[in-house]
Amino acid sequence: MKRFFQRLRNHSKLAYFSFWFLVFFYIVSFFADILAPYHFDYQFRNKPYQPPTKIHFIDESGHFHIRPFVYNMIIDDPVFRTYREDQSTRYPVKFIVNGPERKIFFVFKTSKYLFGVDEPAGIFLFGTDTYGRDIFSRLLYGGRISLSISIVGVLISFTLGMITGGIAGYFGGLIDQILMRFVEILMVFPSFYLMLSLRAMFPLNLSSIQVYFLIVLILSLIGWAGLARIIRGMVLSIKEEDYVLAAKSLGLSHWRILFFHIFPNTFSYTITALTISVPGYIIGEAALSLLGLGIQEPYPSWGNILSSTIGNLKVVGDAPWLLLAGVFIFAVLINFNLLGDALRNVLDPKNW
Amino acid sequence: MEKILEIKNLSVIRKQKEKFVPVLNDINFSIEKDELFCLVGESGCGKTSLALSIMKLLPKSFTVKSGEIFVNGKNILAMDEQSIRSMRGREMSIIFQDPGAYLDPLFTIGVHMKEAFHGDTKQQQVLMTSALKEVGLEPYMLHSYPHQLSGGQQQRVMIAMALINKPSLVIADEPTTALDILTTYQIINLLDTIRKKYHPGMLFITHDLKLATKIGTRTGIMYNGYIVEIFIPGKTRPAHPYSSILMGTEYKYSRISEATLSWQSDICPFFEKCPERDSECEKQIAFTWYQDMTGIRCIKHGRNSQV
Ligand SMILES: Nc1ncnc2c1ncn2[C@@H]1O[C@H](COP(=O)(O)OP(=O)(O)O)[C@@H](O)[C@H]1O
Ligand code: SF4
Ligand SMILES: [Mg+2]
């Protein structure tokens, strides 16, 4: 593992950065319940489309304060939604604040968050949306859903593709024929229509958790077939390698050989392919959300935050911070691609 | 003496473009405990196929047409996959030609050694280290990856793996062909030391007749899937025309082109290339055995002359 990081850094500083950037994103969104100042559906009804809150160190009379503070923002002109700062009261930014109880991933309870300010002021790092909800908090919670969908989806695809392709390629014969015909049938359908028709098989009014698992399932069912085919091809060639013959001559079992000698030798390819395919899951979820078939309001995902923005293009010009979800999707996509490209070389044992 | 390996009337064919091609024909020989049987022949004559038949690891396109193979008295061709697997590595093991290709590039030497070891796990670490020392490697190499070792070191690892369970039959398929001349001698010396220590039956396959006569207790000459002669180096002199050519004594080897695969099965296998052939040879020639477990497949040359 240590050597892996060394190799990654030596190979490409950029990809090394991408790796930690993605780790950072995943960790931050995982801990959304602690890091977000507001719950994702907490609304400031009198603050729709508020621009990002300014954080001050120096007050209007020129005094410096060690503790940063914000001012309450009041709507100046309800038609054009222009805001002004009410400088009569300072609201210091507080760290480790108490608030309504939240459940971290539905399990651990917490009523302390990393930071916040007293109401009626609000701290909106990335501004607010139509309902006066904090975009920063929603992006954190949305990231948790979008990013976890992608990871869980990739893991399911990986497992299905690996086992199906591995068994088909290694044992060959009738099993191979049956599995591959099945895979080909799945691959015949264009993935977008397959996604829609799979979604259409289920009712629209599912609970959010059901929708979450349904999306994971749909996306990974689409992803695994292509992977299975490629892995089968790789297994076909790897099983003819001399080290596989040597492993057999040591008296190892078929399963041992498949799992310890054949699969690992596909990893330099599969891990790269999977890394590059992660953004596809985020985008797949976004596409479903855009059609109103994905995660439903008030639950946030990067996909539905972005789609509610795109459905409301008029205001984007005045409130460009609404597009940040798109920026996040794009950033994650770029970084996964950079990382995937580097992994192709780093995982190749010939370069060790 | 205790027979470690016994092969009776073994014939193997291979499917090639819907046609069956003979690979091994009428193979008969046995190896005793502490014996070093060398098998010599040009490339493509079926040496590796013979080795893989014994391990029951022939490629899918190969079929055993007839014959029996006994290892430690067990008829391995009649055994199921599960029982043959428990013999591999424990009772019989094989060392291959190109050591680099036979080690999985993803795993350290230590992982390979662990896989090869089939004994009490409590002793594993101790035995692994001593096995490495025995083949002249340092214990720290357990943490090395195959590509970090030289060809000679890789072959030492393969030998350590093949011998870690003290098998009674060790097959070495051209173990030095991929190595330089100095490393070759080191590996040969190592195999010799190990043989003197554990006394396994050893099948040593090589294309180098000089080497075979130097180290072997008995030597078989193979041509086109047939064993044409078996002799005892230092005691009997090879007499078969093909052996003579290999020895470089009587005929110019360069005049002999590569063996053709399309031969007639009902005449002497060497007929087409034999400088001494005549019409008498145009019939099936049986292998003639002598008292000392040597023999020849030729009607012109009888009993090997004494040295
Ligand atoms: N994996 C294989 N598949 C098909 N044919 C093979 C394979 N390996 C060897 N052969 C063929 O079998 C014959 C015997 O080969 P082999 O036993 O490897 O000879 P040797 O080891 O003496 O060089 C050759 O004609 C060779 O072309
Ligand atoms: S039997 Fe005849 S053809 Fe065959 S090796 Fe002897 S002399 Fe040559
Ligand atoms: Mg060979």
Average pLDDT over residues B78-90: 92
Average pLDDT over residues B199-219: 91
Closest CA to A34 of A120, A128, A99, A121: A99
- Interchain contact, A243 vs B103, CB within 8 Å: yes
B63 lines ligand 1 (CB under 6 A): no
Neighbours of ion ligand 3 (CB under 5 A): B 48
- Interchain contact, B145 vs A349, CB within 8 Å: yes
Q: pLDDT, tens digit, for every residue of B114-123?
A: 999 987 888 8
% pLDDT > 90, chain A: 23
Query: Best mutation site among A250, A268, A350, A351 for testing chain B: the one with the most B CBs within 10 Å?
Result: A250
B305 lines ligand 1 (CB under 6 A): no
- Interchain contact, B101 vs A253, CB within 8 Å: no
Q: Which residue of A has its CA nearest to B84?
A: A251
| Spatial contact of A294 and A301, defined as CB atoms under 8 Å apart | yes
Give the start-to-end residue ranges of the domains of chain A: 41-133, 139-351
Chain B (89-118) residues lying within 8 Å, Cβ to Cβ, of chain A? 89-90, 93-94, 96, 98, 101-107, 115-116, 118
Query: Best mutation site among B84, B104, B113, B171 for testing chain A: the one with the most A CBs within 10 Å?
Result: B104
Q: Is-cis flag, bond preceding A298, omega within 30?
A: yes
Q: In whole angstroms, what is the distance from residue A270 CA to residue A274 CA?
A: 6
Residue A56 bridge partners (DSSP): A69
- Phi, psi (deg, nearest 5) at residue B20: -100, 130
Average pLDDT over residues A174-188: 90
Q: Please report the pLDDT score of residue A331 as a whole number.
A: 92
Residues of B in contact with A265 (CB under 8 A): 104-106
CA nearest ligand 2 atom 6, residue: B298
User: Which atom of ligand 2 is least distant from the CA of B276?
Assistant: 7
Q: pLDDT, tens digit, for every residue of A207-243?
A: 777 888 888 888 888 888 888 999 999 999 999 999 9
How many Å lie between the centroid of ligand 2 and the Cα of residue B245? 13
Residues of A in contact with B104 (CB under 8 A): 243, 246-247, 261, 264-265
Q: Please report the pLDDT score of residue B263 as a whole number.
A: 54
CA A54 to chain centroid: 28
Q: Which residue of A has its CA nearest to B148?
A: A352
Q: Please report the pLDDT score of residue B251 as a whole number.
A: 47
- Interchain contact, B88 vs A249, CB within 8 Å: yes
pTM (global) more than 0.95: no
Q: In whole angstroms, what is the distance from residue A112 CA to residue A125 CA?
A: 19
Q: pLDDT, tens digit, for every residue of B215-266?
A: 899 999 999 899 999 999 988 888 888 888 888 754 454 444 455 545 556 7
B157 Cβ partners below 8 Å, 6+ apart?
A: B99, B103, B109, B112, B113, B132, B135, B137, B141, B146, B149
Query: B9: pLDDT confidence band, cut at 50, 70 and 90?
Result: very high
How many Å lie between the centroid of ligand 3 and the Cα of residue B47? 6
How far B236 CA sits from the closest chain A CA (Å)? 35
B64 Cβ partners below 8 Å, 6+ apart?
A: B10, B11, B12, B53, B58, B77
| Spatial contact of A136 and A37, defined as CB atoms under 8 Å apart | yes
Considering only residues B191 and A312, tell me which one the structure prediction assigns the higher pLDDT: B191
Q: In whole angstroms, what is the distance from residue A194 CA to residue A217 CA?
A: 12
Q: Which residue of A has its CA nearest to B108?
A: A349
Written as six digits, the tokens of A265 are: 């030798």
B40 lines ligand 1 (CB under 6 A): no
Residue whose tokens read 């996509």: A333
Average pLDDT over residues B9-13: 94
Q: Please report the pLDDT score of residue A352 as a whole number.
A: 63
- Interchain contact, B104 vs A350, CB within 8 Å: no
Q: Is the pLDDT of residue A349 over 80?
A: no
Ligand nearest B284 Cα, by number?
A: 2
- Interchain contact, B103 vs A249, CB within 8 Å: no
Q: Please report the pLDDT score of residue B255 as a whole number.
A: 46
Residue whose tokens read 């996959």: B81
User: Which atom of ligand 2 is least distant from the CA of B268?
Assistant: 4
Q: Is the pLDDT of residue A40 over 80?
A: yes
Query: Best mutation site among A3, A241, A245, A249 for testing chain B: the one with the most B CBs within 10 Å?
Result: A249
- Residue A195 half-sphere exposure, CB side, CA atoms within 13 Å? 21
CATH architecture of A139-351: Orthogonal Bundle (1.10)
Residue B24 bridge partners (DSSP): B12
CA nearest ligand 1 atom 8, residue: B49
Q: Please report the pLDDT score of residue A105 as a whole number.
A: 66
How many Å lie between the centroid of ligand 3 and the Cα of residue A79? 87
Q: Which residue of B has its CA nearest to A242?
A: B102
Written as six digits, the tokens of B199 are: 């006394």
Q: Is the pLDDT of residue B306 over 80?
A: no
Ligand nearest B251 Cα, by number?
A: 2
| Spatial contact of B95 and B158, defined as CB atoms under 8 Å apart | yes
Residues of A in contact with B89 (CB under 8 A): 249-251
Q: pLDDT, tens digit, for every residue of B284-296?
A: 888 888 888 888 9
Helix (H) / strand (E) element for A222: namely helix A208-238
Q: Is the pLDDT of residue A34 over 80?
A: yes
CB pairs under 8 A between A and B: 60
- Interchain contact, A251 vs B104, CB within 8 Å: no
Q: Please report the pLDDT score of residue B275 as a whole number.
A: 84
Q: Please report the pLDDT score of residue B303 as a whole number.
A: 63
Ligand 2 binding pocket mutation candidate from B279, B285, B287 (most atoms within 8 A of CB): B285
Closest CA to A248 of B178, B102, B157: B102
Most confident among A79-83, B93-97, B117-121, B209-213 (mean pLDDT): B93-97
Of the partner residues A250, A349, A350, the one whose CB lies closest to the CB of residue B115: A250
Residues of A in contact with B90 (CB under 8 A): 251
Average pLDDT over residues B77-84: 92
State the DSSP code for B294.
Answer: -
* CATH 3.40.50.300 holds for B3-306: yes
Average pLDDT over residues A102-112: 74
- Interchain contact, A246 vs B55, CB within 8 Å: no
Q: Please report the pLDDT score of residue B280 as a whole number.
A: 82
Q: Please report the pLDDT score of residue A68 as a whole number.
A: 86
